[in-house]
Chain A
Amino acid sequence: MQNETFKPFYLFFITYMTQMGIVFFSLPNSIATHFGYNGWIMIIPISVVVCIQIGLIAIIYRFNKGESIFQTIESLNSKAKMIVMPLYISLSIFWSILSVTIAKHYVHVMKFLYFPQTDMQWFVLLTLILTFYLVTRGIITIVHITTIFFFLSAPIIFLLFYFVPDFSFLQFSTFLFNENTDFYGGIIEVYTAFLGFEVILFMFPYISKEKSGFKYVFWGHLYTSFVYLIVTIFCYGFNSIQQLTRQVYPVVTLMKYIEFEFIERLDSIIFILFYLKVLITITMYVWISLITLKRVVKWSDNLIVFVLLAVGYLATLPFVTKKESISLLSALTNVQLFISVILPLLLLMIIFKKRRSNG
């Protein structure tokens, strides 16, 4: 498996598809609530911060020369492996719980909006089985499928042209961040919308070595930022700000507005297409928890993924209502945010320490 590699340009799709998640539907609302008037501007500085984070990952990639980060950590000294084992186990369990929670959240929203009679647990199980198949096929298949899913769901963005006649710059006004509540909470929330780039850390051994291949991660991230920004701007121009703070899923409302002569209720199709994006996000997190756990146990891939998904499923069982699942999700994403900040810094420290002791 170590020999299998993929071309770096696939990183574009991986980055974008992992970052883009269910948060997308409510993002304009949380931006409007937290930042108030012209809050969309805040996407830009937060995106720049994420760019710096990706820059750190790029530096690690360069110093590592494509070595997996586990080897970097374990090569620190002979005892390191003993210390990090429990950490590996807890991280992989954490990621599997995170992915099941993401799946559950999506199903919650879908059930509420489109299929009120569908049984939640069944649909979550269905998602987990699909995830199982994807993850056990290995990273190369995941990467290819991600690319296909990207092209299936990417053209949705062109639907925004439909709103050009209803778009009004008057709605923006000249106020900046007035009527905001919990500005810092908003920064955290928008930052979590960008989470997903950190999975690239775990892919180092699988990226075929090409000069400046890492730029595709930046492109992927910039595309995510672009989509977030343009959709939020359209929401600001299409709704009044007070209205935007009241809509739970402004992007769904936006899509509901689309009516053609031959088709209406496009939003339900788009929302289901979005399932593909959510599936990729889940798959990526399960995959990183798989390769993390593989450092500890010598089981087959199938068994590890099965155990991880089962643990994740059972751990999230007590969280039934939407409110519970949202609070669980936000707690988990905050932890993930912490990981995404700390892990690259930690790795950089290890690398510099090694270089100093070596040189």
Chain B
Amino acid sequence: MARILMISLILLMQSGCMDQKIVEELGFIHTIGYESIEEGENIGKLKVTVSFPIAETLEQQTNTTVVDTPRESMLFLNQKTDKNLVLGQVRSILIGEKLAEKGVWDLIDTFYRDPVLRPTVKLSLVKGSPQQMLSKDYPNYQMVDTVIEELLTKEARLNTIPEMDIHKFAKDYLDDAIDPIAPIILQSEDGIMSEGIGLFRDDQLVTSLPEIKSRVFFLLTGEFKEGKLLIKTNKEENVLFSFLKNKRSIKVAINNNQDIDVNLSIELKGFLLEYQGKKDINNEKQMAEMEGDIQEYIENQIKEILEIMKEHKIDNLGIGKYIKRKMDYQTWKNLDWPKSIDRINIHPTVTVTIIDTGLVK
């Protein structure tokens, strides 16, 4: 009996060879772009663009199709190429701005559901058309999809855009104390560049922050630990300030279950890299003045960001999470966050210390 079983064991092991995939026959989709069609006969439909590398020529191929649902697109795209398109290696998803304004959760849910895809697939918004971005020939780039991916990674490291993947988006979207954000990229004349961050209400894009404001935004989330900030004070001065340390704390005080006070304090330490203006940067008194100017500038930026959030009744900073901690469950539910964000008082305070001004006196 044991021998019979041994033979059948070996035979059964052969079934491991059934689930095979031959690399040359596959088209590993690298980037998928989605946009909604705004005009023409296909209005309201979805335009899906995929880009995948061709192993033999090391070039990138793009395919586009027009469909009703995201998943349907795979069927049509597959018909347009000799490769068998697979989703296992998707690195980033580009969503057109217009589509994002209508809501993206259905799209992300499809990806989040699929066991083949990774939760680390990067998510970004495109000003304009993802199709044009992917299919254009760029003189400086060989494969634009990998450039996009690397740009997103690099810019996220430098804290100009958030590092957003489908897992993080789902996390913030489903959480009731925070609204999601996503980076925005656009097609410039000679390539691709990042353009600040898009702020969502639930899954709909409502507004965006330009690049300078998005750096300040990251100061507020506490993610900005190190980096540079260009400061233009109203006295026609330009300061390039480089951070070494950023300490952020959020304190919530609730009085009589009604008044919610949030104290946002940011403590920055760093050195001046570049200065254009009339101040003498070797004079201590004028340096203190400059610290004050930088503080004022950042505080104003923060106030503007908070105004934007209050205007649209969104909380992309996650202040809700701090408020949630101070409340019992029922009070939190009654608060109906983030619709009540304009009822709370947020007081930002910024302290700037300039440690050094560089090698030259």
Q: Which residues of A contact B (CB under 8 A)?
A: 37, 112-119, 122-123, 125-126, 129-130, 132-133, 170-171, 173-175, 178, 239-243, 246, 252-253, 256-257, 259, 264-265, 302, 306
Contact = CB atoms under 8 A, between A and B. Distances in A.
Nearest to B250: A170
Given A117-B19, A239-B171, A243-B175, A125 B5 contact: no
A257 B167 contact: yes
B358 to A, nearest CB: 32
Nearest to A109: B115
A253 B167 contact: yes
Nearest to A119: B15
Given A113-B115, A175-B329, A123 B174 contact: no
For chain B, which range describes its interface: under 10, 10 to 19, 20 to 34, or 35 or more residues? 20 to 34
11 contacts: A118-B18, A118-B19, A122-B12, A126-B12, A129-B12, A171-B175, A239-B171, A246-B174, A257-B167, A259-B120, A264-B118
B324 A173 contact: yes
A265 to B, nearest CB: 7
Given A126-B12, A126-B13, A133 B5 contact: yes
Interface string B316-328: 0010011011101
B26 to A, nearest CB: 15
Given A113-B115, A126-B15, A241-B175, 5 more contacts: A118-B15, A119-B15, A174-B324, A242-B175, A265-B118
B321 A173 contact: yes
Nearest to B178: A240
A256 B13 contact: no
A73 B300 CA distance: 81
A137 B50 CA distance: 54
Interface string B157-182: 00000000001001110111100000
Contact of B115 (A112, A133, A243): A112
Given A113-B115, A117-B18, A302-B1, A126 B9 contact: yes
Nearest to A136: B2
A312 to B, nearest CB: 16
A240 B13 contact: no
B15 A123 contact: yes
B1 A306 contact: yes
A2 B325 CA distance: 60
Contacts of A170: 318, 321-322, 325
A216 to B, nearest CB: 33
A322 to B, nearest CB: 13
B8 interface: yes
Contacts of B120: 256-257, 259
B119 interface: yes
B114 to A, nearest CB: 11
B31 to A, nearest CB: 17
Contacts of A175: 324, 328-329, 332
Contacts of B9: 126, 129-130
Contacts of A37: 329
A132 B324 CA distance: 54
Contacts of A118: 15, 18-19
Contacts, number: 78
Contact of B12 (A125, A173, A239): A125
Interface of B: 1-2, 5, 8-9, 12-13, 15, 18-19, 115, 118-120, 167, 170-172, 174-177, 318, 321-322, 324-326, 328-329, 332
A243 B15 contact: no
Contacts of A113: 115
A243 B321 contact: no
A313 B34 CA distance: 47
Contacts of A132: 5
A220 B101 CA distance: 53
Contacts of A116: 19
B119 A253 contact: yes
B171 to A, nearest CB: 5
Given A112-B115, A117-B19, A123-B15, A242 B176 contact: yes
Contacts of A239: 171
Which of B2, B12, B177, B332 gathers most chain A CB within 10 Å? B12
Contacts of A115: 19
Which of B18, B19, B115, B326 gathers most chain A CB within 10 Å? B115
Contact of A242 (B8, B13, B115, B174): B174
Nearest to A115: B19
A241 B178 CA distance: 12
B176 A129 contact: no
Contact of B329 (A119, A178, A259, A302): A178
A163 B5 CA distance: 44
Which 8 A/B pairs are nearest by Cβ-Cβ distance?
A: A240-B175, A242-B174, A178-B329, A243-B174, A117-B19, A126-B12, A113-B115, A170-B321
